[in-house]
Copies of this chain bind each other. A is one copy, B any other.
Amino acid sequence: MSHLEHSLRHKLYVIIFRTDTALGRWFDICLIVSILASLLVLILGSVESVNERWFSQLAYLELLFTLLFTIEYLLRLYCSPKPWAYAKSFYGFVDLMAILPFYIALLVPNAHFLGVVRLLRVMRIFRILKLVQYIQDSNVIMRSLWNSRRKIFVFFSMVAILVTIFGSLLYVIEGPENGFTSIPTSIYWAIVTITTVGYGDISPVTTLGRAIASLTMLLGYSILAVPTGIITAEMSQEVKQQKRTYYEHRNLVMCPNCMKNGHEPDAFHCKHCGSELPDHEQRVVKITDHHSDYD
């Protein structure tokens, strides 16, 4: 491999994979815009009246976006230092899934299969998470969810038990004549009830059934306060942590003129020489850079 090629590959890598250069950010933004546009095409294509009128235009746009994403995928494989690792990663899989169905559909033209094609296309939306990543605060939410993953699992186990018991109870009490045709259907009803969705497509009719259903709702309500409690407790800790980190790091904010640090987090001018300090946002980004630089 020539030096020139190596240099090109590295430049491409910085643009496509990294987000800490102006060009890299522009690439990401363009990518996300085209993902959203391709999603819009997909969504509009599902509306009968739109599809009938703009069928060929939508088909052309879909072709265009698929080609675009194909080029992007090949470039990613080309410039990545470890192409295989990329291909096996979550985003690598999603990127492939976004283009593969189109080509499969060309080979195996099957009406029902096209539905699945559309479906897989939607997964590309996950790329937007990268945009979200720019926002500092998403880490707080993600870490809260991650830290409480085991508590959430325990909670779901409880819900699973409750839902099975109440679903079975209602199946026995109400029976198939009132819409509770089988235990799976009754469990579906219990989930609809316990999450307070309440479609009303299946609802108890007998007095005992309604009494048990009322219990389900109230018990469920208390139990469902649990995930809120879990996430709030974690998030309070995260917010505190974040503030502490912020204050601990304020010594990192240095006046570009007199090189003195120790400025208050809300200071805009150096308290020693009065020259302007680097602006607020950038400081925070600089501090947390070593954590969220790569995805």
Contact = CB atoms under 8 A, between A and B. Distances in A.
Contact of A183 (B42, B138, B145, B220): B42
A207 interface: yes
The complex is assembled from copies of this chain, and their number is 4
Interface stretch (A58-66, A74-82, A187-195): A187-195
A151 to B, nearest CB: 5
A169 interface: yes
Nearest to A122: B168
Contacts of A220: 195
A125 interface: yes
A126 interface: yes
Contacts of A211: 188
A257 interface: no
B233 A125 contact: no
A115 interface: yes
A161 interface: yes
A183 B45 CA distance: 9
Given A184-B43, A217-B195, A232-B232, A222 B172 contact: no
